[in-house]
Amino acid sequence: MSTPDPPPSRELLRTEGIRKTFTGVVALDGVDFDLHEGEVHVLLGENGAGKSTLIKVLSGVHRADSGRVLRDGKPVRIHSAGDAERLGVATMHQEFNLVPHLSVAENIFLGRQPRRFGLLDRSRMNADAAEVLGRVGVDIPPDTPVRELGVARSQMVEIAKALSLRARVLIMDEPTAALTADEVEKLFDLVRRLRADGVGIVFITHHLEEIAALGDRVTVLRDGRSVGRTPASTPRDDLVRMMVGRSIEQQYPRETGTPRATSGNAEAPLLRVSGLGRAGSFSGVGFELRAGEVVGLAGLVGAGRTEVARAVFGADPYDSGTVEVQGRRLRRHDINAALAAGIGLVPEDRKGQGLLPDSSVEDNLGLVTLRRASRAGFVNLTGQQESASRIAGRLNVRMSGLGQRMGTLSGGNQQKVVIGKWLLAQSRVLILDEPTRGIDVGAKVEIYELINELTASGHAVLMISSDLPEVLGMSDRVLVMAQGRIAGELAAREATQDAVMRLAVGTAHEQGTPASKTKDKEGLRGH
């Protein structure tokens, strides 16, 4: 594919021949990249292609083994976050870098708090934070502790933090992954304003529709190498071929049919939830899951989907109702009972709740089955290792070995391991909360095919997703939540974006529940 002409503006940043390895694994292999004033340059590639490693080199988190970085045409050294900041380079990393117990304002100006007579000038800090939050377009009191924010609002605080540096180079790693449709539009408006002011923006996204909407040029990485540069108007199919080295014929390859023979009555539900309620969060929630089906759970942010999933899993308490697995009622707020019954939960917050970043891939895969593999207080390490190796191979986890530290894997490979621990535990009912957030199109299809494999072998999947096309493309039935209740159920043939949205917002104009008072009404994402 032909390389587009560079924009007729001043070059802000350039990398030449950047190489970086980790314990024998080549993460970057001679990457060239450039960014010009007043452009949005999209960095595209599969999970593990090297995108996050490259921006960590540019932000001072990692030092390149070889190659060089130029700022305004002059070679520079970026060996720390302070170096990057002094050079006018600000980075929003994919994983939040916020301190939960500090306020929003304290996080935005962490290490740069304004002082008066040697003391913290809190009123000025809060005023400055309010100003930058206003630029982002979000109304959050600056003195709010970050731990009280949800994923979407935490992301907006990250954006405000980056903007507070008044950088000329802004790197945004998956900034829309946790945002709703309305918030994405606000972010795009903000990016366009920054571009008009001459800021150069490196934009990483797995949502291909965002590229043409916002980008100017695209550089594609594959296996640590830059394999092409192309205009942002390039057709999606061509971009996918550049990313993965092959065509992807079907974006949502859902396979339905009768599951293979399993023990028990195939007609009886594996999971039955009846009248589930918790004051201030949800009420009267009931549904069933049967072997071999994928049930999608859709709704606006704040509708109560994640809260219900955590209650079913036993992670959070509930006030009323019952949860039954294969006809057996589970004790309330008892994760061990849920595990023993065969329920698994892949949480929305992968980093905070789904994995141990400083432990090995092997240890993470064995988290659920460790007790089962123990006899008389001793763990069968050989058996655990063999099982972990089998699951990692089955999921095509890209790693140097089972001993690799979990936190050094790409986001997509981390998600495969988080799912893999439940496969190792042979969970019959799998709850997937935002299973493909922050994952590239190739890894998404691999996870969809895994879902097909699970349901074909008699498992049941409850899939929560804010990506509406994903819900419609992979679900046999769709449950729609609104204001903490199940607003309706749609069969696959009836489930359209309009039908789901009508149910999702249908009760939003009626009398509000406590859940509606604590969350904004935010939209599902459609393509």
Helix H or strand E segment including 513: none
Helix H or strand E segment including 41: strand 40-44
Nearest CA to 64 among 39, 46, 83? 83
Nearest CA to 421 among 337, 334, 350? 350
Nearest CA to 298 among 514, 77, 496? 496
Q: pLDDT by residue (tens digit) across 101-121?
A: 999 999 999 888 888 888 889
Least confident of 16-20, 142-146, 313-317, 382-386: 382-386
Q: How far is CA 173 from the centre of its chain?
A: 11
Distance CA 256, CA 431 (A): 18
User: C-alpha angle with apex 193: 7 to 191, nearest 5 degrees?
Assistant: 80
Rg for the chain, CA atoms, rounded:
24
User: C-alpha angle with apex 242: 236 to 247, nearest 5 degrees?
Assistant: 70
Single-letter amino acid code for the residue at 522 = E
Q: Cα(first)–Cα(last) distance of the chain, in Å? A: 26
Contact 308, 316 (CB under 8 A): no
pLDDT at 508: 40
Per DSSP, helices labelled H in 457-494 are: 468-474
Q: Which residue has the tokens 């995108």?
A: 51
Single-letter amino acid code for the residue at 160 = A
Least confident of 5-19, 187-201, 271-285: 5-19
10 Å Cβ neighbour count for 366?
27
Single-letter amino acid code for the residue at 460 = A
262 confidence band (pLDDT: 50, 70, 90): very low
Q: pLDDT by residue (tens digit) across 117-136?
A: 888 899 999 999 999 998 87
Helix H or strand E segment including 219: strand 217-222
Least confident of 13-27, 198-212, 256-270, 403-417: 256-270
Least confident of 44-53, 156-165, 263-272: 263-272
Distance CA 55, CA 72 (A): 17
257 confidence band (pLDDT: 50, 70, 90): low
Ramachandran angles phi, psi of 474, nearest 5° = -115, 0
Per DSSP, helices labelled H in 291-424 are: 305-313, 335-341, 361-365, 381-394, 411-424
Helix H or strand E segment including 206: none
pLDDT at 361: 92
Q: pLDDT by residue (tens digit) across 322-363?
A: 999 999 999 999 999 999 999 999 998 887 788 888 999 999
Helix H or strand E segment including 374: strand 374-375
Least confident of 61-70, 226-235, 388-397, 517-526: 517-526
Between 99 and 510, name the one with better pLDDT: 99
Q: Which residues contact 523 (CB under 8 A, 6 or more apart)?
A: 180, 181, 182, 300, 301
Judge whether residue 41 has pLDDT over 80.
yes
Between 458 and 302, name the one with better pLDDT: 458
Domains (range + CATH), the chain = 1-88+200-246 (3.40.50.300), 270-342+427-527 (3.40.50.300), 359-426 (no CATH)
Single-letter amino acid code for the residue at 31 = V
| Token duo for residue 444 | 């998404």
Contact 319, 359 (CB under 8 A): no
Between 33 and 441, name the one with better pLDDT: 33
Least confident of 209-223, 316-330, 377-391, 473-487: 377-391
Nearest CA to 176 among 215, 126, 228, 229? 215
At residue 364, the 3 state secondary structure works out as helix
Residue 417, CB-side half-sphere exposure with 13 Å CA sphere: 34
287 confidence band (pLDDT: 50, 70, 90): very high
Helix H or strand E segment including 296: strand 294-299
pLDDT at 180: 74
Distance CA 368, CA 450 (A): 19
Percent of the chain with pLDDT over 90: 49
According to DSSP, residue 524 is labeled P
According to DSSP, residue 5 is labeled P
296 confidence band (pLDDT: 50, 70, 90): very high
Q: What is the DSSP string of 221-287?
A: EETTEEEEEEETTS-HHHHHHHHHSS----SS----SPPPP-SS-TTS-SEEEEEEEETTTEEEEEE
2 confidence band (pLDDT: 50, 70, 90): low
The mean per-residue pLDDT over the stretch 189-200 comes to 91
